[in-house]
Amino acid sequence: MPGAFVKENKKMLAKTALLKTNEGMLWEVKIARETSDYFICKGDWPRFVVHHMLELGDMLIFYLVDKSTFHVVPYSKKPCTNIRHLEDLSSSEEEEKNTEFGTSRGCKKVKTEPKALSDTNFSKELHQSRIDRMSKAIKEIAFKKQQIQKPFEKGDEVEVASQEDGLIGSYYTATIISPIGSYLYRVKYKTLFSDDESVPLEDVVTASKVRPVPPDQRKILSENNFRLYDVVDVFANDGWWFGFINGIVGEELYVYFPTTADNIAYPPDVLRLHQEWSNGKWIFPPEQGIFN
């Protein structure tokens, strides 16, 4: 990526970027810096290359359409067609920003239609009914305040739930710096940094946004694979995002996020089963009949 482009669009870029192609697929990649050069790499980039059968010498056009979201157009095969497509894309930039891409999720995702199931006996009607019920329940959980019965102390590891527009349903790990009265905490985030990325971001948050860090699930997940309709959190763009699995295609799990109406494929290693802190203990919402 040209350094001048990065400098000019610094506020529009994050460490994680999303690539969108004409076929409607989404790919999460990393933006890495090496000396003064910037590269798109890691994450889904190797799979992106294989899927599009890219070879040395092939050219791609990366069109920045939203925060860390690029519309990628292959240029090497049919340059004239792609030039016309890019012109059409440029002329309708504002329309796309207000509709297809939106601003609901910042640099995490863009709006897409849920993928069809690859291996299920449920009818489309039953599947959609299940999605509607689960979406309603997840929205209710995501918008509610955290249930905390004892105050946190300096040094406690916590997760902070965001209640900002476009970020509802996300959780960020942090450390308590100090309590402020009975209802506020100063926290230092572990994955969020200042604008120049030199120091971890600090913030003052209300007690209703803070919860303990959920227990390690590696043993649970090593014994049980993820299944259709599992309620999960996905680690992406420096935080955990709340949704559920609504499709499985090969090794990819399609996760639907009701608070932003987005549907994206992820590998299993960035997912965890969602848990809620209730009455002093962690619970799995489906076991409480919340999604029945």
Question: What's the pLDDT tens digit per position in 161-213?
Answer: 988 877 888 999 999 999 998 789 999 999 998 877 789 999 999 988 999 99
Instruction: Quote the pTM value.
Output: 0.58
* Cβ-count burial 232-242 (b if 16+ within 10 Å, e if not): bbbbbbbbbbb
Residue, of 161 and 52, whose pLDDT is higher: 161
Q: How does pLDDT run across 62-81, given as a tens digit for each residue?
A: 888 887 888 888 764 433 33
Q: How confident is the model at residue 54 (pLDDT cuts 50, 70, 90)?
A: confident
Count CB-CB contacts under 10 A for residue 90.
Answer: 9
Residue spans of alpha helices (H) in the chain: 3-8, 45-51, 79-91, 93-96, 124-143, 218-223
Q: How confident is the model at residue 43 (pLDDT cuts 50, 70, 90)?
A: confident
CA angle, 108 then 106 then 197, to 5°: 85
Count CB-CB contacts under 10 A for residue 215.
Answer: 10
CA dist 143 and 139 (Å) reads 6
Count CB-CB contacts under 10 A for residue 217.
Answer: 14
Contact 73, 86 (CB under 8 A): yes
Contact 94, 103 (CB under 8 A): no
